[in-house]
Copies of this chain bind each other. A is one copy, B any other.
Amino acid sequence: MILLRALLGEVLRERRQELGMTLREVSADARVSLGYISEIERGQKEASSECLGAISGAVDLPLSELMSRLSDAIAEEESQSTAEVESRAVVAELPRETRAAVVSDVAA
């Protein structure tokens, strides 16, 4: 299952690094505690709407653009999950010996 907060954290970290900002700087600009921002970036805490608004201001990215980047990041994960499910389905239809060979190849 795709976890929104994990991908949101990645998008926020990427944006911060694009700007060359430190966590401490974002924390000061957004007036959000360093610990909280750090947990959000690591996908360990949900960000409240107020907090996300403040962070989006601090990293100079409109909320709409933040959500658009998040949507792209999720779409990428979704297509990977689909590819995994599809390749598992293909493998499942192979004759037993070939299947074993493919599975051991993939595992190698």
Contacts and interface: CB of A to CB of B under 8 A. Distances in A.
Contacts of A75: 62, 64
A62 B72 CA distance: 12
Contacts of A46: 46, 48-49
The count of identical subunits is: 2
B49 A78 contact: no
Interface string A1-36: 111111000000000000000000000000000000
Given A62-B78, A67-B68, A71-B71, 19 more contacts: A1-B53, A2-B53, A3-B50, A4-B49, A4-B52, A4-B53, A5-B49, A46-B46, A46-B49, A62-B75, A64-B72, A64-B74, A64-B75, A64-B78, A65-B71, A67-B67, A67-B70, A67-B71, A70-B71
Q: How large is the interface on A (under 10, 10 to 19, 20 to 34, 35 or more residues)?
A: 20 to 34
A94 interface: no
A63 interface: yes
Report which residue of A2, A6, A78 has the largest number of chain B beta carbons within 10 angstroms of its beta carbon.
A2
